[in-house]
Amino acid sequence: MNDFRIAAAQPGDVPAVLSMIRGLAEFERLSHLCVATETDLLHALFGPDPKAEVVIAWEGDETAGFALFFANFSTFLGRPGLYLEDLFVRPAFRGRGYGRALLIHLARLAVERRCGRFEWAVLDWNEQAIGFYRSLGATVLPDWRITRVTGDALTRLATETLLSPADRR
């Protein structure tokens, strides 16, 4: 790791972040779902009400990888959490400790921010990642499944009529 550093992304880094997001989508076999644009990311990350943060792993002037994350909240713990949405290391930099360094960086942020937990999802077929995460002390939760509503289904759900409990009898 010559001249390695991790730094918060800046607005000028958005093209590199989008490039890595597209690389992640390709790796996960989900390119057909990747419709984000530079404008979308610029607004979501650096607009008046940022929705997420990104840190970039650099080797010299080259981007080696990134992590995109945001705050969530645990009602059971009564404390915020840090949720890692995406972690990606460019193929040329894999196996050299960049993913581990990004996760350590985020764990430190979670501790500094007094988070009760640091969590993320992993695809069930990605055994290499699962093994890597377990080696860091992470637990892969067997009883939980991600539930998602998007696109037309989200629009339909949002436009449904709200009924009072009395109307449901």
DSSP secondary structure string for all residues of 72-92: EEETTTTEEEEEEEEEEE-GG
Q: Where are the domains of the chain?
A: 4-142
The pLDDT assigned to 167 comes to: 66
Average pLDDT over residues 152-156: 94
The set of residues, in sequence order, having a beta carbon less than 8 Å from that of 34 and lying 6+ positions away, is 21, 22, 25
133 belongs to the catalytic site: yes
Tell me which DSSP letter residue 135 carries: H
Beta strands in the chain (DSSP E): 4-8, 53-59, 62-74, 79-89, 117-120
Of the two residues 71 and 150, the one the predictor is more confident about is 71
Return the pLDDT at 169: 62
pLDDT at residue 163, rounded to an integer: 79
CB 6 within 8 Å of CB 57 = yes
CATH 3.90.1530.10 fits 4-142, yes or no: no
Query: At residue 135, does pLDDT exceed 80?
Result: yes
Average pLDDT for 72-99: 96
What's the average model confidence in pLDDT over 106-119?
Answer: 97
Q: pTM of the entire structure? A: 0.90
| pLDDT score of 141 | 93
Q: What is the mean pLDDT of residues 99-112?
A: 97
- Assign 45 a pLDDT band (cuts: 50, 70, 90): very high
Query: How confident is the model over 90-98, as a mean pLDDT?
Result: 95
* Cα torsion through 54, 13, 16, 82, rounded to 10: 0
Catalytic residue among 133, 135, 159, 167: 133
